[in-house]
Amino acid sequence: MNTSLLRRRLARWIAAFVGVATAAAGFLMFSTSANAAVDTDAWYVIVNEHSGLAIDIQGRSQDNGATALLWTRTDASNQQFRFVDAGSGYYSIEARHSGKALDVYARSTENGADVVQWTDNGGTNQQWQLNEQSDGSYEIVNRNSEKALDNWEGATDPGTRLSQYDRNDTTVQRWSLVPVDGGGGGGQAGDGSLSDPNLQYYGRWADDGNWRTMGWAGGYVESAFTGSSIGVRLRNTIDMYYSVDGAPEQWMRNVSGNVTVASGLGAGSHTIRIGFRERAGSYNGDPAFGGFILASGEQTSSNARPADFIEFIGDSITVGQPNGDRPFTAYGYLVGEALGAGHTQVAQGGACLVSQDCYGMMDWFRRSSGWVDNDDWDFSTYQATAVVINLGTNDIGHGVSTTQFYENYIVMLERVRQAYPDAEIFAMGVFRNRYVTETRNAVEVRNNAGDAKVHFVDTAGWVDPETDTWDNVHPTDEGQQKIANLLTPIIDQYL
């Protein structure tokens, strides 16, 4: 057995034994104040004192039985809960995105039982007592089992289990209730328009009169909203993908004007993400967003950004071309999602590092899109916590020498550092084994100059041209997923 796991279990056994012994001796084990008052109109993020992770409904699911787990705090609606008075000093704990209650599955009274969400049915396995501690945190005890809401095995990694366990007066069973929306539950109601502060933009979006246009690839817009339907205002024809309540992305092809994205949604708050196919090559769709269309009397609400944001700079491989479901099957999108980070692909088919008869991304990454003619992007719009560069596949076809590539890669790294002073920068060796030595040496120059946050990523052997690509160059969807699986843990160790 893993030794750290054994230590955590031993600590539980000792704590449980001490609790029994103390109770038998007639002493008060827990410093609590039952029936602690909370604002039943407020929405809270529930944060574990031991790990700092927040309670999260996995995948923003709307379904009964969806798992409640611990995740990096994002303040998204699937991490927001309110306490609904159930009488006799108990509360049901309602998830904002689904309107469903935290539930001990199958009314179990066993240690380690799953905690899920379920339609509120008034069952005692959905009722919880709040016991306030002297430090202001809470013990949350299930009425049916009389066991405490528990960070199973004292985990500290996102994605780990939430459960119930015998009360043991440790930090794995202590929870902070952090009000969101200003503590009143409603926050600043929004109308879905471009000026709505609840809309979150990811990637390079530029103002264009009554519209905002998506530059490059992999940009998207998110919001939380109430109501049974959601729509989008579009200017001219575009391929648009969307996800409602965290469901897998789907396409709406060749749409324009006012478009209904979803209807017949259930009660409670929902989330939406929309994005567009990139304007590039012969595709001239209009990636112009004019705001969300809400049902009558409904509103948007705050949907906080993740703590991390990753920008992927590259060529057609980073775009995800020629795969039909790009960007959300491209490795950058997949890595960002796997890490729970915001993300975008500042990438263009045919791009190079060096501006030599080519989209030289050492220059073009400073622009809002691939169709403007000046360095117009304001890097204060957002700050990336990580930047991944995957360039060098195409430069050889434009006569770029190894010396030119090396010298200009150093400049590229310097410019990215200037744009993002605190970011971790990852320079990938390209999958076709071109300019790899030069890329590695450029990273070493920056390291020797004192920049320890620049890293070379050796991708040798990651992509088998025969099995992982369409044409010996462009990865299939399966090839993109393979790259993402290998890159994700490398970035994760630095975030």
Q: Which residues contact 435 (CB under 8 A, 6 or more apart)?
A: 353, 392, 395, 396, 402, 405, 406, 409
Residues written for the chain: 495
Contacts 24+ apart (CB under 8 A), 83-89: 83/38, 83/40, 83/44, 83/130, 84/40, 84/120, 85/40, 86/122, 86/126, 86/127, 89/34, 89/35, 89/129
171 and 204 assigned to the same domain: no
146 and 267 assigned to the same domain: no
Q: Please, what's the b/e burial string for 353-385 (b: 16 or more CB within 10 A of its CB; e: otherwise)? A: bbeeebbbbbbbbbbbbbeeeeeebeeeebebb
Mean pLDDT calculated for residue range 242-261: 96
pLDDT (tens digit, 9 = 90+) per residue, 212-231? 999 999 999 999 999 999 99
146 and 262 assigned to the same domain: no
CA atoms within 13 A on the CB side of 188: 10
Tell me what pLDDT residue 36 has. 59
85 bridge partner residues: 91
Amino acid (one-letter) located at 342: G
Residue 403: CB atoms within 10 A of its CB come to 9
How far is C-alpha 463 from the chain's CA centre? 26
360 and 464 assigned to the same domain: yes
Residue 188, in any domain of the structure:
no
Banded pLDDT at 448 (limits 50, 70, 90) = very high
444 and 360 assigned to the same domain: yes
Residue 10, in any domain of the structure:
no
pLDDT (tens digit, 9 = 90+) per residue, 451-493? 999 999 999 999 999 999 999 999 999 999 999 999 999 999 9
Residue 9, in any domain of the structure:
no
324 and 459 assigned to the same domain: yes
* DSSP 8-class letter at 361: H
**CATH number of the domain that residue 286 is part of:** 2.60.120.260
Q: How far is it, in rounded angstroms, from Cα 359 to Cα 350?
A: 7
343 and 437 assigned to the same domain: yes
| C-alpha distances out from residue 171 to 3, 54, 71, 148, Å | 20, 14, 17, 11
Round to the nearest angstrom and report the end-to-end CA distance of the chain: 28
Quick one: tokens of 266? 């259930």
Looking at 301, 317, 351, the residue that finishes a domain is: 301
289 and 313 assigned to the same domain: no
38 and 114 assigned to the same domain: yes
Looking at 301, 317, 334, the residue that finishes a domain is: 301
Tell me what pLDDT residue 17 has. 35
Residue 79, in any domain of the structure:
yes
**CATH number of the domain that residue 445 is part of:** 3.40.50.1110
Comparing 257 with 38, which gets the higher pLDDT?
257
Looking at 183, 215, 245, the residue that finishes a domain is: 183
> Is the pLDDT confidence value at 20 over 60?
no
206 and 179 assigned to the same domain: no
For 174, the domain range is 31-183
pTM to 2 decimal places: 0.69
**CATH number of the domain that residue 71 is part of:** 2.80.10.50
44 and 134 assigned to the same domain: yes
pLDDT (tens digit, 9 = 90+) per residue, 317-343? 999 999 999 999 999 999 999 999 999
Residue 350, in any domain of the structure:
yes
pLDDT (tens digit, 9 = 90+) per residue, 268-284? 789 999 999 999 988 99
Residue 23, in any domain of the structure:
no
Chain mean pLDDT for the chain = 90
Residue 63, in any domain of the structure:
yes
Domain count for the chain: 3
Quick one: tokens of 435? 């300019």
Residue where the block lists tokens 């057995």: 1
121 and 176 assigned to the same domain: yes
